Amino acid sequence: MTEVGNSKAARPWFRVACLGVDQVVAWGVLYYSYSVLSTPLANAFNVSTRLIALAFSLSLAISGFLAAPVGRILDRRGARFILLLGAWIGPLAFGALALAPSVWSLFCIFGALGIVQALALYEPAFQAVVEWFPSHAERSRALLLLTCIAGFSSTVFLPLTAWLVERLGWRSTIVVLSLLLAFVLVPFRFKLPRDARHDLDRPEVRARRIEEPRVLGMLGGAFGLQSLASTGAMLYLTRHFLELGQPLARAAFFAGLAGAAQVPGRLFLSPLQRSARPEVRLPLLFIAQALSLAAIAAGPWPLVVVAILVFGATTGALTLEKAVVVLQWCGADNYGTHSGFVSVFALVARAAAPIAAEALQRTLGSFAKAFIVLAVGVAAGSVLVLAASKVRMGRDDGST
């Protein structure tokens, strides 16, 4: 009986590990492969990479706007329905890129990929974790495991996509990646439990949960500012270092440090979550990221290297922290709706980040000055978090 009980207890954790691999492939194909494919696409259709970037931004914007309605469906139908829908549509939409007859058809296909991103990436995966684990401590550990595994997506798929393009060409690469997406996502998601939902929060937890739209709006605005800054800075770190006179190889290496620091940042978050409440640790993470951006822009080189690592670590930690804070503040019931509402701000800001950072650079004359503005934006986000915390605590005090 003990062995059977241990086997049943291990199943959700095994599913989380498998879901992490699932997310490595989903993020790698549906998001990170764009970095490699954008130039071949632009060359094939004889257009600028900026036009291809606009198409990709369209997909990110559609994904952002769909976060709220998808969240409501997650609460009604469960994570399996959405994840499986994304697994069926994803390979077809991505594979269609290989058959695109014109650049304008690319916009339609990227629009479809935006729908797929809303169905296949973190939001429904986080909902699955919430459904599988009844206790908050287990959910936090499971979310950490999931995001740490998925954090290697760019590490795997950027070189893999480049290797495939060099040997097969971009059209065949898209076919291979779409087949990989289908072979990994469909079988795993089809085997997920049909309804893993349970009585998510005990009555005493429900009494304390926050459904104040003002709190969620401020939290969403904060993560929107942070997403705009972190995405924009991450995309243009290499160009910033080139502006400073660094050779390309060194500039790319330093920019890569930020991506490599994301997984350690998530691991560091676990002890921070145990020692500090969200009202304390979330503003600290925002302020740390704002200071790191300012140091990258203006600091001496030894400080810049440290700042890059802090920037990457806080970026990785805040991806996980958004899910955890929504869960702690709002409870597990209707988690999809609450998380989707907050995610709209972050995802739409992520879509606007490439254009916004480029515009700041052109207006101000350098990426260093643009990063200072982005740092101010993250600092403003910390103020919104503190305001949301104050409203939340005031509501708690008034209800006791």
220-253 residue pLDDT tens: 999 999 999 999 898 888 888 888 888 877 887 8
Backbone angles phi, psi at 111, to 5 degrees: -60, -45
CA proximity to 348, closest of 212, 183, 228: 228
Task: Taking the CA atoms of 296, 302, 305 and 306 in sequence, report the sign of the dihedral they define.
Answer: negative
Q: Determine the Cα–Cα distance for residues 385 and 210; give it in Å rounded to an integer.
A: 14
CA proximity to 346, closest of 112, 81, 123, 108: 123
Q: Determine the Cα–Cα distance for residues 120 and 115; give it in Å rounded to an integer.
A: 9
User: What one-character DSSP code corresponds to residue 333?
Assistant: T
Confidence of residue 49 (pLDDT cuts 50, 70, 90): confident
Q: Which amino acid is at 213?
A: P
The answer to whether the beta carbons of residues 285 and 222 sit under 8 Å apart is no
Mean pLDDT rounded to a whole number for the chain: 86
Of residues 259 and 28, more confidently modeled: 28
Cα 185 off chain centre by: 18
Q: Determine the Cα–Cα distance for residues 343 and 327; give it in Å rounded to an integer.
A: 13
277-329 residue pLDDT tens: 888 899 999 999 999 999 999 878 889 999 999 999 999 999 889 888 888 88
Q: Determine the Cα–Cα distance for residues 378 and 227; give it in Å rounded to an integer.
A: 9
Of residues 109 and 242, more confidently modeled: 109
Confidence of residue 8 (pLDDT cuts 50, 70, 90): low
Residue reference for tokens 């009604």: 76
Number of C-beta neighbours around residue 264 at 10 A: 16
* Plot region of 245 (φ>0 → left; ψ -120 to 50 → alpha; else → beta): left
CA proximity to 71, closest of 122, 139, 12: 122
Q: Determine the Cα–Cα distance for residues 53 and 354; give it in Å rounded to an integer.
A: 8
Within 191-247, where are the H helices?
A: 203-206, 213-243
pLDDT at 212: 63
Query: Could you tell me which residues come within 8 angstroms of residue 288 by beta carbon, excluding any fewer than 6 positions away?
Result: 310, 314
pLDDT at 395: 59
Quote the tokens at residue 132. 């599988």
